[in-house]
């Protein structure tokens, strides 16, 4: 059985407002679709990183996403969607650091589609941010994907 090559296309239609740091539409074909569960600021031992420090927690969330993708042979360049869930206690001015930290990890020329939701609280009161990710990567050799 042959498979069509994987392709990821990023679109920003002129009929939508200009995006700021994200793509409106990401289309994937072939390859592997990878879903990463919401990542909070916990290290490999489960210890909270950056208690009370929003930027440190963001950094750890992205590191966790990177580790998750690498574990299945994908990379941050394969990201197509990010969903952010931010605790309402985080001051509006601190949200500027989201783009700064994110841009250290993603392809800024083809940023993933994104949603950012402010929530009453996350599962653990010490968590300030949780990030889910979806990636689209090439099929692994010898795989049916």
Residue 22 confidence (pLDDT) above 50:
yes
pTM (two decimals): 0.88
CA angle 47, 95, 36 (to 5 degrees): 50
pLDDT in tens, 85-99: 999 999 999 999 999
What totals of helices (H) and strands (E) does the chain contain, helices first? 2, 6
pLDDT in tens, 27-45: 888 899 999 999 999 999 9
Lookup: tokens for 85: 């869930």
Which domains does the chain show, CATH number per domain?
A: 22-137 (3.30.1330.40)
């Amino acid at each position: 059985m042959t498979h069509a090559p994987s392709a990821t296309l990023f679109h920003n239609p002129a009929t939508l407002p200009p995006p700021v740091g994200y793509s409106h539409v990401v289309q994937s074909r072939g390859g592997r679709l990878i879903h990463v569960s919401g990542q909070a600021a916990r290290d490999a031992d489960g210890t909270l990183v950056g208690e009370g420090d929003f930027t440190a927690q963001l950094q750890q969330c992205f590191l966790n996403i990177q580790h998750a993708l690498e574990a299945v042979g994908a990379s941050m360049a394969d990201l197509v969607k990010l969903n952010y869930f931010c605790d309402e206690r985080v001051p509006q001015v601190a949200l500027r650091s989201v783009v700064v930290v994110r841009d250290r990890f993603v392809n800024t020329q083809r940023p993933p589609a994104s949603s950012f939701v402010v929530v009453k609280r996350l599962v653990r009161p010490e968590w300030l941010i949780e990030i889910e990710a979806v990636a689209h990567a090439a099929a692994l050799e010898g795989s049916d994907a």
